Amino acid sequence: MALSKVNPNFVNQLGRRNLIINGAMQVSQRGTSSTVATGYGPDRFKMANGSIGNLTTTQESTNGPSGDFKYSMKVASTNTASIASGSDGWIRYIIETKDIENLVLTDSSKNITVSFYVKCSNTGQSSIGVTSGNFTSGRYVHPFTITTADTWQKVSFTMPGNSLLSNVDGDIGLRLYWDIGAGTTYQTSSTNSWGSGGTYASSGNLQITGVDGRYLQITGVQLEVGDTATPFEHRLYGEELSLCQRYYYQIKQYENAGQYTFMTGAVGGSNTHFIITNPQVMRAAPTVTYSGTVNLYCNATAITSPASFAAYSGTKYNRLQFARGTHTAGGAAWADIDDGVFTFTSEL
């Protein structure tokens, strides 16, 4: 019996095409809203607006593209300010070097396609920039037009591979920038072609940052090898969360009354120690921070908010260390995370 031929278009639809993690904005471990000048919205997507404040980043859950996406990332301005030439306003995503090592992105005969959905408060031009890992060696800026305000539209474009993409920066393989208020230092009129220099935005773009009432909203972000924008690769929430936890996760008290988060450990010579296993092998030994109240216990003796905290971190596990205080060396200890929050980050 003759074997049937495989439809190449079908093969191109198979999973793991998308090199973007959390492109559907489902995971937002840091919370659903932030007003910091530089920080993350949904996981892996970072926002910066230079020195201009009054910018809110939210994970939206009610007004995504109809029938395709529930969640999106929205950056909204509530301030009026001029943009200095050296101001840096963007939504940024970084692809880890390990995720592109097996792809020949330096081959100009092979194409790379980027697609996403965008909604904006105003009509006009905006842009997305793709740069090499070290940022300045290579950049490809693609302008696009917001045709109707407050309406979702899909943007896609294809670019050839380029030798400049061999210029990674350690673990930083590629960078993507959506312009929300780049100063002239970061603008270029050379678009839809590979070039060099530290620019990521097209000249003539709409300004979001610093204009009261304006916003930019994105979701369905996909970057794939090939010359066609295929349908978005939806992954299970658990898969997306696991991929995100390679770069960031939290340990904190549960929100519901009567639920507690515990850690068990031991009392050493001058400190109480707790071993925390990371939910995923992290990209690098994480930076560990601690805030709020943690109640430590040993033989019924309690310490609330110990005097000092230190962390010795690794990609697989971490040792958290608190001042021993009145605890007895050699005893078993446990901790109740009251309103405390531990964050573990190895973001790029």
- Supply the pLDDT for residue 7: 42
Residue 67 DSSP symbol: T
Sheet of strand 301-304, all strands in order from the earlier edge strand to the far edge: 301-304, 294-298, 332-337, 262-267, 271-277, 317-323, 309-313
Question: How many degrees, rounded to 5, is the angle at CA 284 between CA 281 and CA 290?
Answer: 90
pLDDT digits (tens, 9 = 90+) for 161-172: 999 999 999 999
Considering the chain, what percentage of its residues have pLDDT values greater than 90?
78
- Mean pLDDT, residues 201-221 taken together: 95
CB-based contact 125:204 (threshold 8 Å): yes
Residue 49's pLDDT band (boundaries 50, 70, 90)?
A: confident
Residue 6's pLDDT band (boundaries 50, 70, 90)?
A: very low
Q: Which residues pair with 77 in a beta bridge?
A: 55
Every domain of the chain and the residues it spans: 8-244, 248-345
- Mean pLDDT, residues 237-257 taken together: 89
Can you give the three-state secondary structure of 175-218, one letter per residue?
Answer: EEEEECCCCHHHEECCCCCEECCCCCEECCCCCCCCCCCCEEEE
> How would you class 300 by CB atoms within 10 Å of its CB: exposed for 0-12, middle for 13-18, buried for 19 or more?
exposed
Helix H or strand E segment including 9:
helix 8-11
- Supply the pLDDT for residue 10: 40
- Supply the pLDDT for residue 55: 86
Q: Looking at per-residue confidence, does 39 or 347 come out higher?
A: 347
Phi, psi of 185 (to 5 degrees): -60, -30
CB-based contact 165:106 (threshold 8 Å): yes
Residue 304's pLDDT band (boundaries 50, 70, 90)?
A: confident
CA nearest 202: which of 128, 136, 134? Answer: 128
Tell if the pTM clears 0.75, that is, is over it: yes
**CATH homologous superfamily of domain 8-244?**
Galactose-binding domain-like (2.60.120.260)
CA nearest 174: which of 98, 91, 226? Answer: 98
**β strands within 7-122, DSSP E:** 33-34, 38-40, 45-49, 55-60, 72-77, 89-96, 111-120
Considering the chain, what percentage of its residues have pLDDT values greater than 70?
93
Q: Is the per-residue pLDDT at 343 higher than 70?
A: yes
- What span, in angstroms and rounded, lies between the C-alpha atoms of 26 and 236? 10
- Mean pLDDT, residues 337-344 taken together: 89
- Supply the pLDDT for residue 273: 96
- Mean pLDDT, residues 238-266 taken together: 85
- What span, in angstroms and rounded, lies between the C-alpha atoms of 134 and 200? 13
Q: Looking at per-residue confidence, does 178 or 254 come out higher?
A: 178
- Mean pLDDT, residues 324-342 taken together: 90
How far apart are the two ends of the chain, measured CA to CA in Å? 53
Residue 2's pLDDT band (boundaries 50, 70, 90)?
A: very low
pLDDT digits (tens, 9 = 90+) for 104-131: 999 999 999 999 999 999 999 999 999 9
- What span, in angstroms and rounded, lies between the C-alpha atoms of 270 and 275? 16
pLDDT digits (tens, 9 = 90+) for 264-290: 999 999 999 999 999 999 999 999 999
Q: Looking at per-residue confidence, does 327 or 15 come out higher?
A: 327
CB-based contact 152:65 (threshold 8 Å): yes
pLDDT digits (tens, 9 = 90+) for 8-34: 444 445 568 999 999 999 999 999 998
Q: Is the per-residue pLDDT at 53 higher than 80?
A: no
- Supply the pLDDT for residue 9: 42
Sheet of strand 111-120, all strands in order from the earlier edge strand to the far edge: 33-34, 55-60, 72-77, 215-225, 111-120, 153-160
